[in-house]
Amino acid sequence: MALLFPDLEVHGIELDTLYKNKHSLRGNPMFDYLVAIAEKGASQADLREVNGLISQKKTEEAMKYLMNADSWVREQYTF
DSSP string of 33-44? HHHHHHHHH--H
Which residue ranges make up each domain of the chain?
23-76
Residue 77 φ/ψ region, left for φ over 0, alpha for ψ in the -120 to 50 degree band, beta for the rest: beta
Instruction: Print pLDDT tens along the chain (79 aa).
Output: 778 888 888 777 777 666 555 444 556 788 888 888 999 989 999 999 999 999 999 988 998 999 988 889 988 886 5
Rounded to two decimals, the pTM is 0.60
**pLDDT at site 20:** 57
Q: What is the DSSP letter of 27?
A: T
